[in-house]
Structure 1
Amino acid sequence: MIAEVPTIAIEQVFVWNNNSVIVDEILAHRLGLVPLNVDPTLMTMKGPEDPPTDQNTIVFHIDITCERNPKAPKGSTNPAELYINHELLSSHLKWTPAGEQEEVFAGKPPAPTNPNIVLAKLRPGQQINMELHAVKGVGKDHAKFSPVATASYRLLPQIKIKKPIPPNLAEKFQKCFSPGVINIDPRTREVSVDEHNVRNDSVSREVLRHPEFQDCVELSRVRDYFLFNVESESAYPPERLLPEAIRVMRDKLAVIREAAEALREKTSSAADGDVPMADS
């Protein structure tokens, strides 16, 4: 469902001038993958035949020219010192407000989430001038609309100490697990598993390599306890992505329920009516 959480990405690129070494198609592809900080709830979905409006399209412009730096240090070979605008960065995308957008996005002007993405390298005389249109979409249509960089899950580790660990081996036993997983009582030297930090264990099974701990511990996983890791690459903070995905799933279930009820009513109405007979 996360792939169907809507987000904003650059969909169309109008090139007015590009004499850099990167061809238009490759540069347009790179621009489309730049994550934007625009909240998708503030925009409407643009259909294939819909004209661009201030409610469904955000316009950016790029106008950058590389020039020699007259104040460059003598003998320098660093392009950042030799040239002005030697790189096209995501920060060069400048938002052009239209209609009511200036009021709608007053608190957070549309821009890339990371201003330091290198999109192209330029040298003196090279120029890039283009207009970019960003729209609302979902990841199942194209990866650039995916709000997630990486999403993964694992089962909760389970560590059971079957018999007491000798006090002289407490530190050695503790070092077999990730930091914070095993606690040692400073007074009694009793070893215990930290129920909160057990999720940090890397499940390296290092403890099983040592014969002195044989039959002392049982390692397993809780089969119905999932630990999800979600990294955001859009305007959504990570903690908002899962609720948004659940909302999408509920909307789909509502559509299915409505269709099923309509089908049931149709079937019921047909059953109550007269049944047509074939001509004899």
Structure 2
Amino acid sequence: MTARSPELEILEIKNDTITFILSNTDISVANALRRVMIAEVPTMCIDLVEFEANNSVLCDEFIAHRLGLIPLISEEVNRFNYTRDCSCSERCDNCSVEFRLHVKCTDDKARDVTSSDLISQNDMVIPVSSAQSLNHNNNTPDRPEQEIPIVKLRKGQELKLKAIAKKGVGKEHAKWIPACVATYQFQPHIVINQNRLDELSDKQKEDWVASCPAKVYSYVPHQRNQVTIEDPLRCMYCMECKKKADTYGKPDLVTIEQKTDRFIFTVETTGALKPEDIVLYAIQIIKRKLTDIQTQLQTQIQEG
């Protein structure tokens, strides 16, 4: 079997998403990359909550669950140890980050307790909503629409707790998953049969182009090539254009195939990590796993 050299081409990077093409490989590698991004890229999340006071309408377990699902900035996650690997007896600054929350409602108006009320003892690990608010407002207080609600307090109610964030991965608990979306599809290969297209009227061409909900094709009247493929990467294999061609009695008007060695990935982050960092971490983890397998195999051969 010929060895392959996978290649990665970035199409678009935004603050919370990345789109790229993984080529010159097969579906096993593509799926391995997707699964590692979801299940094995580490982040920091609240894992332990100690309540000192809570007379709100929500019980301790409910609030603890909500705290665990608040994404925390984890760009420095590699500086922390897993609790199981740390040399400390219980917890320390090398394997955990402490948060404090103390809110008491003294007004007649209800008080919203949000992620901005979580005070971190380590500036490297803070709620994602707090970091976003600071970036948008040039270090001004959090904007309400960016805060993550935890509970509402009425007059006289109080919530006081200590929370401990730890390093973990998605296969241990979903709260540690860094990507809220990690999908891929085969890159489409679309070919229009120009001879069949020329047999259509202008109205039929316009209707055929409009049949594609993803706007893959474009139609410009009074030009030599009236119908062109505007962006094949938009294709989602709904086959509406094929169905429309069948109504015209021209099933061979367009051919849509999948390139089985090219995959379009879309990764959207929860905010804990940058989307490109999720991909890089996943590649490093796969590389380390393959190296471990190679080492074990060589050891077995030498002992065998």
TM-score range, shorter chain: 0.7 to 0.9
> How much does 1:156 deviate?
2.4
Partner of 2:126: 111
Q: Which has the higher contact order (CA 8 A, sep 6+)?
A: 2
TM-score between the two structures when normalised by the length of structure 2: 0.72
On the 8 A contact 1:178/1:200 being kept in 2, the answer is: no
Write out per-residue CA displacement over residues 80-123 of structure 1, whole angstroms, 9 at most, x where no aligned residue. xx33x2x22111111124xxxx6xx4xxxx32113522211221
> How much does 1:213 deviate?
6.1
On the 8 A contact 2:54/2:159 being kept in 1, the answer is: yes
Write out per-residue CA displacement over residues 233-269 of structure 1, whole angstroms, 9 at most, x where no aligned residue. 14212222122111111111222222222222222xx
> How much does 1:155 deviate?
2.2
Matched, 1:27 2:33: no
Aligned residues: 241
Q: How many angstroms apart in 1 are the aligned matches of 2:54 and 2:158? A: 6
> How much does 1:142 deviate?
1.3
> How much does 1:37 deviate?
0.9
Q: How many angstroms apart in 2 are the aligned matches of 1:158 and 1:246? A: 27
Matched, 1:157 2:188: yes
Larger radius of gyration: 1
Q: How many angstroms apart in 2 are the aligned matches of 1:265 and 1:66? A: 69
Indicate which of 172, 180, 201 corresponds to 2:207. 172
SS of equivalent residue, structure 1 residue 63: strand
Change (3 A) 1:173 1:33: same
On the 8 A contact 2:211/2:244 being kept in 1, the answer is: no
Indicate which of 217, 224, 230 corresponds to 1:182. 217
Q: How many angstroms apart in 2 are the aligned matches of 1:148 and 1:67? A: 39
Partner of 2:261: 224
Q: How many angstroms apart in 2 are the aligned matches of 1:155 and 1:136? A: 34
Partner of 1:278: none
Partner of 1:209: 244
SS of equivalent residue, structure 1 residue 47: helix
Matched, 1:57 2:96: yes
On the 8 A contact 1:177/1:202 being kept in 2, the answer is: no
> How much does 1:48 deviate?
7.2
Partner of 1:95: 120
> How much does 1:65 deviate?
0.9
Runs of 4 or more, structure 1, over 4 Å off, are none
Write out per-residue CA displacement over residues 191-232 of structure 1, whole angstroms, 9 at most, x where no aligned residue. 2223xx211123332231352262322233333332222221
AA of the residue aligned to 2:115:
S
> How much does 1:189 deviate?
4.5
Aligned-pair Cα RMSD in Å = 2.2
AA of the residue aligned to 2:44:
I
Write out per-residue CA displacement over residues 23-53 of structure 1, whole angstroms, 9 at most, x where no aligned residue. 1122111111111013212322222773322
Question: For structure 1, which runs of at least 5 residues remain unmatched after alignment?
Answer: 70-81, 268-280
AA of the residue aligned to 1:172:
D
TM-score between the two structures when normalised by the length of structure 1: 0.77
Write out per-residue CA displacement over residues 145-167 of structure 1, whole angstroms, 9 at most, x where no aligned residue. 11111222222233221233446
SS of equivalent residue, structure 1 residue 68: coil
Change (3 A) 1:189 1:265: closer
Q: How many angstroms apart in 2 are the aligned matches of 1:48 and 1:23? A: 32
SS of equivalent residue, structure 2 residue 128: coil
Partner of 1:133: 164
Q: How many angstroms apart in 2 are the aligned matches of 1:204 and 1:233? A: 29
AA of the residue aligned to 2:192:
I
On the 8 A contact 1:178/1:202 being kept in 2, the answer is: no
On the 8 A contact 2:51/2:160 being kept in 1, the answer is: yes
Query: What is the percent sequence identity of the aligned residues?
Result: 28
Q: How many angstroms apart in 1 are the aligned matches of 2:206 and 2:264? A: 28
Change (3 A) 1:41 1:164: same
